[in-house]
Structure 1
Amino acid sequence: MLLRPVSPISALLSNTKSKFPAKCIIHSKMGSESKSLVGKKSANYRLANISGFKTDLLEINSNEPKLHVLLIPGNPGVLYHFTQNFWSHCMSYWEGLPLSQACISHISQSKKDWESRRLFSLEEQIDHKISFIEQELQDVEVPIILVGHSIGSYISLEVLKRCHKKVTYCVGLYPFLALNTASSTQSFIRRLAMSPALCTAASAIGALFGALPSELTGFLVKIFVGKSWSSSAVEALCTHILKVQSFANQWFLCYMISYFDSSLSRSI
């Protein structure tokens, strides 16, 4: 199945106004398990059980939605970081539109180690999103639109192929379909990801940073990336991304992506 050309969401809902505009401000505190986007419309945090796996969700429900938007992040798939830097920006464009929205994390890329440090492949992450639609959105009667970022775009494409009766459109933002060989950063990540030994070493270093007191981790992170990263991104790195199970799964997903890209190149 080919990806359908997609009009902007606002165009799909032209001349439609919502009684519940979705303008929001995100809490800067990340200490509690329950987080909300506060404004004219609130987003509810929920820890869901999707096919036996603990999954972070953020949801905004409309009383009379015309569309249901599901956002699938890239790698890392840490929900809070993705939401704070991306979802709120999207919502500024969607303000006033009758949308129900959800943002889903990847398995075992969260603050807590729910899955006992198990590693999950790209295919398992795809199946996870399909299970979410079949389990949580089975009664949704309005069109479902997937919005994927980076490798989330590829995941969205695969979900579209397999759930075409439920999913109507797919939007890819900075879609990842192949590595950019001209990028020295991507080439370095690929070489690192393709080596199990180097992935293990990188995970161990990340876990070491994550095990340090949060104040010290934050100080070290700010020294290296603080000038180019927002304070919320630095905080998300310290509290979520550098957790041992999360960091290991991020690198494992990088390895799976690199393997997929190599296989694709050989088949062309």
Structure 2
Amino acid sequence: MWVVHSPDVAVRHAFSPSPHNLLSKITACYRSIRKDISPRCSGSMDRLTLSHCGRKQATVRTCTVSGFPTELLEMRSEESSLHVLLIPGNPGIVLYYKDFVEAIYQLLEGQASVTGKDYQLGHFKQLGIFVMQQSILEYLSCSKVDEYDFFTRIGSMEGCFHWKNKLIIRKISFMLPVCFFSLIQYVYSTFQVDFIEQEYQNSEHPLILVGHSIGSYICLDIFKRLQQQVKYVIGLYPFLSLNKNSLKQSMIGLISRSSIVSTTISYFVSFLGSLPTWVQVAMVRKCLGQSWSSTAVDATCSHLLQYHMMRNMLFMAMTEFEKLSEEPDWMFVKKKHNQISLLFGIDDHWGPLSLFEEVSRMVPGLALSIEREGHMHSFCCTEAGSLWAGHHVATLIKNQIAK
């Protein structure tokens, strides 16, 4: 151990030109990175056995919804009496919730089939967000016929991929101020409703929706449209309105509204994603936290570190910020207050305690909880957070089953 009396001494020791010292530091750095990417367990061996070897594993399936490939994380039960559908937060990567989904299934002891559904746009690697934008514009064309016809008369879109992209960008730039709500409603809620009607149309079992962050908002909107089919809605760390006191939200809003900044960030993220996998894993662990589970690290490296994924995430954040500047639909929440439960965090700028107080005031009698265990908004990125949230959700569901 060093005894340092001045900064100069520390610098001389740290940057000694000795080949032996340099080799030692390189070896130590390599061992540190190898340690970061090796399998780890935060707890005893018994807990590791319970978490990974002693429980049924979720499976990944891809299905087509409204013409778009959609990734599902599923745990099916032959003895289930209800369905649990998880709607994740932005960027909609359902693989982050693998530990969470497995915890819910295990704690419910097979009484429910649990499905996590993504809404990421990253599957469209060739066209990226432009494919979804085109579908959105077609969906909105009934109310925007004049603007749509004006741009299509400029030139033919057939056989010219680049012109088609420019055309869509120009239409989006002209229409964004007036179609934010329809955009978020289509990409989020309508897409989810189409999936529910496709997958559960012949099912007699009730449906319970679990939403995280903006997923809570999506679940409430789905509930409005499928009130007969949805039995209960659980919102975790809900993002229901903007937090004007949050500097982080202000910064994200500025970034997402700037095409130049968003593009620059997306290219940088894409560069990181082009690095060797072991380097990506080491960087994610170093930058985002040693407590992250291997599931979350793998999902980040395989899905998030891509140009189109980052652009899509920022684009959707922009639409969220615009829509959530409005007041939530308190009238609907009051009407269905006995079928809704919300969980808030102590230090969560997306769903702050000020929102908890507002909900308490606006909807007396609504089932509200505050998580005081120290888990973050991104609870699904740690095994401890996934297990705690899974226990919370399973308890609420069991209470509903008992009624």
Question: TM range, normalised to the smaller chain?
Answer: 0.7 to 0.9
Mapped partners of 2:93, 2:126: distance in 1 = 15
Q: Tell me, what secondary structure is at the counterpart of 1:64? A: coil
Shift of 1:92: 4.6
Tell me the residue number matched to 2:101. Answer: 87
1:167 equivalent to 2:230? Answer yes
Tell me the residue number matched to 1:103. Answer: 116
% identical equivalent positions? 36
Tell me the residue number matched to 2:253. Answer: 190
TM-score (norm 2): 0.52
1:122 equivalent to 2:184? Answer yes
CA 61–80 in structure 1, closer or farther in 2 if over 3 Å, else same: same
Tell me the residue number matched to 1:50. Answer: 65
Tell me the residue number matched to 1:237. Answer: 300
After TM superposition, the structure 1 stretch with the greater mean CA deviation from structure 2, 128-137 or 195-204, is 195-204
Specify every segment of 5 or more residues in structure 2 that has no aligned partner in the other structure, as ranges: 1-48, 133-182, 330-403
Task: Please say if residues 203 and 247 of structure 1, whose CA atoms lie closer than 8 Å, have aligned partners that are also in contact.
Answer: yes
The amino acid that maps onto 1:213 is P
Shift of 1:46: 0.9
Tell me the residue number matched to 2:93. Answer: 78
CA 246–165 in structure 1, closer or farther in 2 if over 3 Å, else same: same
Shift of 1:101: 1.4
Task: Please say if residues 105 and 113 of structure 2, whose CA atoms lie closer than 8 Å, have aligned partners that are also in contact.
Answer: no
Tell me the residue number matched to 1:202. Answer: 265
* Cα deviations by residue, 1:138-167 (Å, 9 ceiling, x for unpaired): 011011110000000011111111122222
Specify every segment of 5 or more residues in structure 1 that has no aligned partner in the other structure, as ranges: 1-22, 27-37
Task: Please say if residues 194 and 258 of structure 1, whose CA atoms lie closer than 8 Å, have aligned partners that are also in contact.
Answer: no
Shift of 1:115: 6.4
The amino acid that maps onto 1:116 is L
Tell me the residue number matched to 2:220. Answer: 157
Task: Please say if residues 72 and 104 of structure 1, whose CA atoms lie closer than 8 Å, have aligned partners that are also in contact.
Answer: yes
Mapped partners of 2:51, 2:195: distance in 1 = 27
* Cα deviations by residue, 1:96-127 (Å, 9 ceiling, x for unpaired): 25111111011324xx5456212555221221
Normalized per residue, the structure richer in helix is: 2
Mapped partners of 1:228, 1:188: distance in 2 = 25
Task: Please say if residues 53 and 107 of structure 1, whose CA atoms lie closer than 8 Å, have aligned partners that are also in contact.
Answer: no
1:69 equivalent to 2:84? Answer yes
CA 191–174 in structure 1, closer or farther in 2 if over 3 Å, else same: same
